[in-house]
Structure 1
């Protein structure tokens, strides 16, 4: 570690000697980008600001003229473009194409992916359902907080026009950090996160260290606690721990207004940043692909991401078994079933599942049981698991844990 950040090598397969000089590819891609930016002044301005932000934050640095020519195989130029997430149209991101090929190879082809250190998605979500008070946060620019040593930065070069003026003299920059799009980056970033917990485990409670290792899915943190006070303390401890590794844990949300009030406004999730917590209703947040209504503490479904596809699969199977060509009309019976399926699909948005497996106030649990059911036919199979708990007063509560069909 140096300057408050971890420095990790890019894990090349053997050496960089097989990387040809791909300046021509990067220049051609930049010219293509220039044509697009020239037609959209607003996009051009955002792109200029995006490049300048990379430089201002130290994520990128200019390559001096005397450093331009490196030994063969020790430089690589990354084409770049912008992407817009359909659910986050206001967020502008510049992506470097580590998979771009030149003379039969690419940067990603020359680098080891590394071990998969990403936690199991289902495991993170299930732990998120364990206790009544839930909190959620996000590591800001996780990959960009892990530095690349000087010796490997020249394979992360990119071209940009002087002062961002399209068609002006080309300048060479290089990234100083690991990239979104690099096949190796998820492993490096997750390693740095876990190394932070390991290096400072003596300074924090074991449950905080355990949370770093189990409750993150890449850069998303999801945790559940027994009380508001525990949630507030966990938020503070996790933030302090991750800061020591160069990470900023932000975009906090919760199903408890008291917990949100303990978070500085600048570190709250966008939807709760400007809420009047004394009067306003808490919003619906996205939690690893699910829709979480933080006011009612319920999970819901939006039909454009829903998993309700079994009936559609069965119709497709039946059509395929008929040995028809793609342009043949669908069987009338299957056609009606398809129309019915489409009509019923929006009804799924009415389905709500409590986030917390145990009803609040259900105290002194004396017995916990998992009950699993499964069934199958020639067409499909389905399995479902329930949690059954009993308290000292012999009251029983059952909750859906998860289900799957295929």
Structure 2
């Protein structure tokens, strides 16, 4: 996120995302939950204004069936996938939050600059970025590009190989 100095005025359209913390009992890890379905003063939420996007990944059953046909299994996870996908700067005012790191600090305004949990378009945007990789790198890494194109389910990689050596090479 980036701190902003200019508050929303009548010339600029922006949306302040309500958010709150969730603390898991098993760990002390703090997670922030954003509410893109919260309605603004106009009675419309930012999620109502967003295009959700088409379904662009294979169904999970097809991925799992293909996975089970191999003798060597490989699984992976893209860590914090949404936070690794930047949005266009002109769209960040629709992901504006009020934030302070310490209760004694002054509340400041920030724009979230990456795909954000809780917004209707986020799953499509993250997966669409993943789908772009094979298109851009396919000619140099054709086998890996095929795996990326067909064996991801959201941020989980589930694929297999017929031999350990082939699996090592693909990884």
TM over 0.5: yes
Q: 1:176 to 1:201 in 2, by over 3 A?
A: same
| Aligned residue number for residue 63 of structure 1 | 4
Gaps of 5+ in 1: 1-59, 236-406
Alpha-carbon displacement from aligned partner over 1:170-192 (angstroms, at most 9, x marks no partner):
21011011111111011111111
Structure 1 residue runs of 4+, over 4 Å off?
none
| Aligned residue number for residue 105 of structure 1 | 44
- Indicate whether 1:96 and 2:37 are aligned: no
CA distance in 2, matches of 1:125, 1:83: 32
- Cα RMSD (Å) of the superposition? 1.9
8 Å CA contact 2:57–2:150 kept in 1: the answer is no
| Aligned residue number for residue 179 of structure 1 | 116
CA distance in 1, matches of 2:122, 2:36: 11
CA distance in 1, matches of 2:104, 2:37: 25
Q: 1:5-404 to 2 correspondence within 5 Å? A: 60-64=1-5, 67-72=6-11, 74-83=13-22, 89-90=26-27, 91-103=29-41, 104-161=43-100, 164-166=101-103, 168-205=105-142, 207-235=143-171
Say which structure is richer in helix. 1
Secondary structure of 1:117's counterpart equals coil
8 Å CA contact 2:23–2:31 kept in 1: the answer is yes
CA distance in 1, matches of 2:16, 2:73: 44
TM-score after normalising by structure 1: 0.40
Q: How far does residue 121 in structure 1 lie from its aligned partner after superposition?
A: 1.0
Say which structure is richer in strand. 1
Q: Which has the larger radius of gyration?
A: 1
Alpha-carbon displacement from aligned partner over 1:181-224 (angstroms, at most 9, x marks no partner):
1110111111111111101111112x321211111000000111
Q: 1:197 to 1:71 in 2, by over 3 A?
A: farther
Q: How far does residue 132 in structure 1 lie from its aligned partner after superposition?
A: 0.8
